[in-house]
Amino acid sequence: MSTVVAIDGPAGAGKSTVARMVADRLNYAYINTGSLYRALAYTAMTSGVAFKDITPEFLEKQKLEFRGVDLYCNGKKLESELRKPECAVGASIISALPFVRDYLLPVQRNAALDQWIVMEGRDIGTVIFPDAEKKFFVTASPEERARRRMAQGGEISGDATFESILADIKARDERDMNRAIAPLRQAEDAVLIDTTGLSIDEVVAKITSYCR
C-alpha cells in the first residue's frame, strides 16, 4: 500500500523546496519527477543526440532509477548537472513527446510502490496518480517566480536579467500548459495554493495541515 501526496505546479513556484520540506515533516519519501525529464535531456545532450532525434529505442537503452531520493542514470548519480538552464529547457521540450511520457510513467508509479511519498511534478495529480490521497497545485505569478529565481541565482545563466528570466518562465509555462499530452493543469480535486507573498514556511505549514 502506498499513500501519495501529489504536488504539481509551474516552473519556479518553489515546489521542490516545499515538497521536500513537507515530506520531511510528514516523514514521507520525496520524489522530484522533473529530474527524470531532465536526466533524459542531459543524457541525450551528452550522447550527442538532438532532442528531435530521440527515439523509443534510445530511451530503452537508458537505465533510470531512484535510490532513495537520488536519481541514477546508467549507474551515475545525477545532481548539479540537472540544474543547468539547458537541462530545464531540454526537459520541457522532450516532455511533450508522447513516448517519453509513456517511458517515464511506470518509472514514476514504481517509485511510489509500498511507501508513503510526496511526489512533485506537472501531472502527478492528473495522470500519474489520479487517485492520490492529497493533491496540491502550487503556483505564483510569473513575475514573483522570476523575482525568486533572480534572488536565488540558481538555474540562470550569468548574463540573465529580470526580463530574460521572466521571458524564460513564460515560455516554459506556455510549453508545459499547451502540450497535447498531460499538459500542466490543476486537477479538479487539487487544493490551489498561490504562494505569491507567502513565505516557504507558510506554504509548508498550509500543505502539512491539509495532510494531517
- Do residues 10 and 145 touch, judged by C-beta distance below 8 A? yes
**Cell numbers for 124:** 502527478
**Amino acid (one-letter) located at 208:** T
Burial of 88 (C-beta count, 10 Å sphere; 0-12/13-18/19+): buried
Give the residues lining the site for ligand DC (CB under 6 A).
Answer: 11, 33-34, 37-38, 88, 91-92, 95, 121-124, 172, 176
CB closer to ligand DC out of 131 and 209: 131
CB closer to ligand DC out of 134 and 172: 172
User: Given the DSSP bridges, would you call strands 191-194 and 70-73 parallel, antiparallel or unpaired?
Assistant: unpaired
- Do residues 29 and 110 touch, judged by C-beta distance below 8 A? no
CA distance 167 to 116: 37
CB closer to ligand DC out of 80 and 209: 80
In the complex, what is the shortest distance from the CB of residue 42 to ligand DC, in angstroms, rounded to a whole number? 11
Q: Which of 1, 37, 15 is nearest to 207 (CA)?
A: 15
In the complex, what is the shortest distance from the CB of residue 57 to ligand DC, in angstroms, rounded to a whole number? 21
CA distance 129 to 105: 10
In the complex, what is the shortest distance from the CB of residue 33 to ligand DC, in angstroms, rounded to a whole number? 4
CB closer to ligand DC out of 191 and 212: 191
- Give the list of residues 6+ apart from residue 98 with CB closer than 8 angstroms, or none: 180, 181
State which residue has the least CB distance to ligand DC: 34
In the complex, what is the shortest distance from the CB of residue 95 to ligand DC, in angstroms, rounded to a whole number? 3
In the complex, what is the shortest distance from the CB of residue 184 to ligand DC, in angstroms, rounded to a whole number? 7
CB closer to ligand DC out of 151 and 212: 151
